[in-house]
A = this chain, B = another copy of it.
Amino acid sequence: MQPRVDLITLGVPDLAAARRFYVEGLGWEPMTEVEGEIVFLQVGHGLALALFGAEDLEKDLGGTAPAGGPTGMTLAHNVGGEKEVVEVMNRAAAAGAAILKEPQPAAFGGFHGYFADPAGFRWEVCHNPGWSVGPDGRPAIVPVDG
């Protein structure tokens, strides 16, 4: 598993309030958004911050969040294909991670799994054929067929 974070997802109880804060308040321009669902902001070279409904995030995780662990956000690591998702999940499990969601097709059309590190921090291992990073570091996300 390469040492890389591609996406930080904040599970927010009120998406409109979060959007108001980051977009109108701080003046950050959305990279991509699906109204009422998710807002993506570029926060680094090849790095995105997603504002996503807290319940939607927990649903995407399969509702398996360990009680008492760090909650409300995930770090994502993108890889090039489904086989790599499985390999990285296996590597993480061998290193002592708890598997929260076995590798499987994802709602957005890609393929992913989730694990928790020993402290409970949650990582998504993801193949998203619609994710790319330009030479200037700008991530782009286009919808893929589910």
A45 touches B43 (CB 8 A): no
What range describes how many residues of A lie at the interface?
A: 35 or more
Number of copies: 2
Given contacts A3-B26, A92-B26, contact A45 B137 (CB under 8 A): yes
Q: Which of B14, B94, B119, B137 contacts A13 (CB 8 A)?
A: B119
| Bound CA–CA A94/B8 (angstroms) | 24
B119 touches A43 (CB 8 A): no
List the B side residues contacting A72 at CB < 8 Å: 69-71, 119-121
| Bound CA–CA A20/B47 (angstroms) | 26
Given contacts A26-B3, A70-B72, contact A44 B46 (CB under 8 A): yes
Please tell me if A106 contacts chain B, counting CB pairs below 8 Å. no
Chain B minimum-CB-distance residue to A51:
B119
* Binary contact track A1-42/B, C-beta < 8 Å → 1, others 0: 101111010111110011011101111110000000000011
Please tell me if A67 contacts chain B, counting CB pairs below 8 Å. no
Please tell me if A73 contacts chain B, counting CB pairs below 8 Å. yes
B46 touches A45 (CB 8 A): yes
List the B side residues contacting A11 at CB < 8 Å: 70, 119
Among all A-B residue pairs, the 10 with the closest Cβ atoms: A25-B95, A45-B45, A70-B72, A3-B28, A12-B119, A5-B43, A17-B118, A1-B26, A21-B118, A3-B43
Q: 4 new A-B pairs (CB below 8 Å) besides A3-B41, A25-B92, A72-B119?
A: A3-B43, A5-B47, A8-B75, A26-B91
